Each structure stands twice: as structure tokens, then as C-alpha cells.
Amino acid sequence: MEDIPDDENGAVLRRMRSRGDSLQAARDIDYSVIFPDEQSASTFCRLIVSNGLKVTCRQSDTGGKYPWDVTVIKNMSPSHREIGEMESYLDMLAGPLNGRNDGWGCFRVEDMRPK
């Protein structure tokens, strides 16, 4: 089992594990990347799709400096290392477009292993 570092992602993963989530089970993980304008969000979406990932793009009703929300969907196991790598990858693509990561989430997959 992966040693989970003591940071924000680690806290989420430990909470998931404590609630009976199987961190080894692959599932769709949604990464939110926010942008200040539609053009930046659309350019980012094209980059993501060209790299084989699923994406949705919408204008949020939250207003503020980043009203465009892009959700990048990747099927993977929620491991600390892989989530960190994905967030770094998204930052690399979003940064030049004035975008930034705004978190990730996924549905729970129950750990069916005997306790």
C-alpha cells in the first residue's frame, strides 16, 4: 500500500481510505482547472483532447476572476503520486493560459477485501 504524504492530497486520500474506499480501484477522477476567459478555457480543452483525455467546459455561476471551469476526466487509481503527476501536467498546460488547478474529486469505490 502506498505511503501517503502529509499534504492536502494526502489528507483527502486518508479520509477516503478511512471511509472504506479502495484506493487501488481505478475510477474516473475529475480534475477542475479554472480560467479567466472562454478563449483560454477552449484552448486548454483542445490541448487536453489532443492528448486523449475526456473534458467538459462550462462557464460557472460563481463569477470572480476564473469563471470558466474545465473538468478533465482521467480513469485511474487515486494514488498520491499519480494525482500529483496529473496536477503538475495540468498546471504545465494551464499556466501559460492563465489557468490554474482547482481541485479533484471522484466517486467512492468500496474496498471489498476482507478486513
pLDDT over 90 percentage in the chain: 85
Summarised one tens digit per residue, pLDDT across range 65-107 is: 999 999 999 999 999 999 999 999 999 999 999 999 999 999 9
Quick one: pLDDT at residue 1?
A: 47
**Cβ proximity of 92 and 72 under 8 Å:** no
* 55 is a domain residue: yes
The predicted model gives 20-32 an average pLDDT of 94
Domain around 64:
25-106
Find, among 92, 109, 111, the residue nearest to 31 by Cα. Answer: 92
Quick one: pLDDT at residue 2?
A: 59
The predicted model gives 58-68 an average pLDDT of 87
Rounded Cα distance between 55 and 44, Å, is 10
* CATH number of the domain where residue 93 is located: 3.30.70.970
* 12 is a domain residue: no
Quick one: pLDDT at residue 62?
A: 73
* 6 is a domain residue: no
The predicted model gives 9-19 an average pLDDT of 94
* 10 is a domain residue: no
Find, among 102, 100, 99, 104, the residue nearest to 39 by Cα. Answer: 99
* 59 is a domain residue: yes
Count structural domains, the chain.
1
For residue 34, the one-letter residue type is I
Q: Is this model's pTM higher than 0.75 or not?
A: yes
Quick one: pLDDT at residue 113?
A: 66
